[in-house]
Amino acid sequence: MAIPLLEYSPSSQNQRVLNYEIPGDEQSRIYSAENLLSDGRTQDLIWAAYRQIFNEQQLLSSNRDKALESQLRAGQITVKDFIRGLVLSETFRRRNYEPNSNYRFVEMCIQRVLGRNVYSDREKLAWSIVLATKGLAGFVDDLLNSKEYLDNFGDDIVPYQRRRILPQRAEGELSFARMPRYGADYRSKLEALGYFAHKPGDYYGKPYYPPQQVLLVGKILAIGGAAFLGLITVAVALSAWGLISL
């Protein structure tokens, strides 16, 4: 029997605030398949889906799935099916699922699929349980079939970051694309392996001392080089006096 989704309390984020908005350049552009009249607009919708799922950092030609694109152009699949195919693709799995913990991956998928940030650590825990019990495909299906996704995007709208700007605020929320690829837990693993040994700013106004092993090798090379140069100097001098021939 499947474990039910753990309950969590939604917090008051921008996308949950109902208000009158005037469309502008600051608002996210909505791409929908309901009124696609030209191939150019279909291509714009496809690239919008790639940007949303892979973010700007992973917009590579090798990440394209031309079979999915062809099915979408032919009307064989919906935009929601296209999003599902991208999230379950081998490249998305390799670049986002495998390098990250379940918690970090859940956070990324909520941002990119549901278009908002996670409400709390409890929500990350709830969806992490779904990911661990149902697998990647089951987790993605539950996200795409959730009431929140269907109410906001349905079958034809490409997900986008909802309500980044509020009229009452001078600045809006930053784009999710700015967030680092790896979570803090992955960085701690790298630190345990010896990465990031020096913190930023350690080299400003402070002397830097290499490791003892490096100093020892440097001393050996310096002494050996000095001895070799000394022998060459002596040999040249003896040759000049005619004592030896080179």
Evaluate if residue 101 carries a pLDDT over 60: yes
pLDDT tens-digit map of 127-164: 999 999 999 999 999 999 999 999 999 999 999 888 76
Q: Is 87 exposed, middle or buried (0-12, 13-18, 19+ CB in 10 A)?
A: buried
Query: What's the confidence (pLDDT) of residue 55?
Result: 77
CB 164 within 8 A of CB 28: yes
Q: Is 51 exposed, middle or buried (0-12, 13-18, 19+ CB in 10 A)?
A: middle
Q: What is the mean pLDDT of residues 69-96?
A: 92
Beta-carbon contacts of 31 under 8 Å, excluding residues fewer than 6 positions away, are: 44, 45, 48, 49, 157, 158, 160
Q: Whole-angstrom Cα distance, residue 243 to residue 246?
A: 10
Q: Whole-angstrom Cα distance, residue 112 to residue 240?
A: 79
* pTM (two decimals): 0.62
Residue 83: which of 120, 103, 102, 109 has the closest Cα?
109
Q: Whole-angstrom Cα distance, residue 127 to residue 122?
A: 9
pLDDT tens-digit map of 24-80: 555 667 888 887 656 778 888 998 899 889 876 666 677 788 899 999 988 899 999
Cα-to-chain-centroid distance, residue 201: 26
Evaluate if residue 175 carries a pLDDT over 70: no
pLDDT tens-digit map of 115-136: 888 888 899 999 999 999 999 9
* Percent with pLDDT over 90 in the chain: 28
Q: Whole-angstrom Cα distance, residue 134 to residue 142?
A: 9
